């Protein structure tokens, strides 16, 4: 899959500045940097889980944000900026963004790690990751006669009866 993404980008006009198989072993790739990658190349439109950096030219921040947000995937991103990094990061529809670092979010165990869109479901790390193991369940029990939580109509004396039943119940627990 990684080789297919690289070959597709090269066929569409991208240039590899660093690339190639590891000498003596075709199962591994050298880190690959692709420049002038077309916006419709697989490496720019799909998730490439390998040592590949694809550089896609955009005219400005607005186009970059729109390009990122148009993708069906949204695992993670990095924003490099002297002044506007957090503001740009907050506009991206992705699960996590590192500002002025490539993968800082993955090194902070207290932050949730996970994506949006087609980048998978669920989280690991942080409170959100722990909640993946929980199955919340809400249970209500009607304890006072003549009242219901699904109606605004109350028979005469229902509020007083509910209050009395609540006070009685609380005094039994004390």
160/166 Cα distance (integer angstroms): 10
- How many CA atoms does the CB half-sphere of 1 hold within 13 Å? 6
Average pLDDT over residues 122-133: 74
Residue 174 pLDDT > 60, yes or no? no
Domain boundaries, given as residue ranges, for the chain:
2-131, 140-174
Q: Which tokens hold the place of 90?
A: 């907050």
Q: Residue 149 phi/psi, 5° resolution?
A: -80, -5
The CATH class for the domain spanning 2-131 reads alpha beta
pLDDT in tens, 137-149: 776 666 766 655 5
The overall pTM is greater than 0.85: no
- Token pair 């009242």 in the structure block, residue: 147
Q: Select the more confidently predicted residue: 156 or 56.
A: 56
Under 8 Å between Cβ of 75 and 119: yes
Residue 84 pLDDT > 70, yes or no? yes
- Residue 41's CB: how many other CB atoms inside 10 A? 23
Dihedral sign, CA of 36, 37, 38, 44? negative
């Amino acid at each position: 899959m990684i080789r297919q993404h690289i070959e597709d980008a090269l066929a569409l006009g991208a240039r590899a500045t660093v690339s190639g198989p590891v000498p003596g072993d075709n199962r591994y790739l050298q880190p690959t940097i692709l420049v002038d990658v077309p916006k419709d190349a697989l490496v720019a439109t799909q998730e490439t889980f390998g040592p590949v950096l694809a550089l896609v030219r955009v005219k400005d921040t607005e186009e970059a944000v729109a390009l990122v947000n148009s993708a069906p995937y949204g695992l993670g991103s990095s924003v490099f900026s002297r002044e506007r990094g957090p503001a740009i990061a907050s506009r991206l529809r992705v699960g996590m963004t590192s500002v002025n670092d490539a993968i800082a979010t993955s090194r902070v165990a207290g932050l949730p790690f996970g994506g949006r869109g087609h980048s998978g479901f669920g989280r690991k790390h942080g409170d959100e990751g722990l909640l993946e193991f929980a199955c919340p369940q809400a249970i209500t029990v009607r304890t006072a006669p003549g009242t219901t939580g699904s109606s605004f109509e109350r028979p005469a004396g229902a509020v007083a009866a509910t209050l009395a039943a609540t006070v009685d119940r609380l005094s039994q627990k004390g």
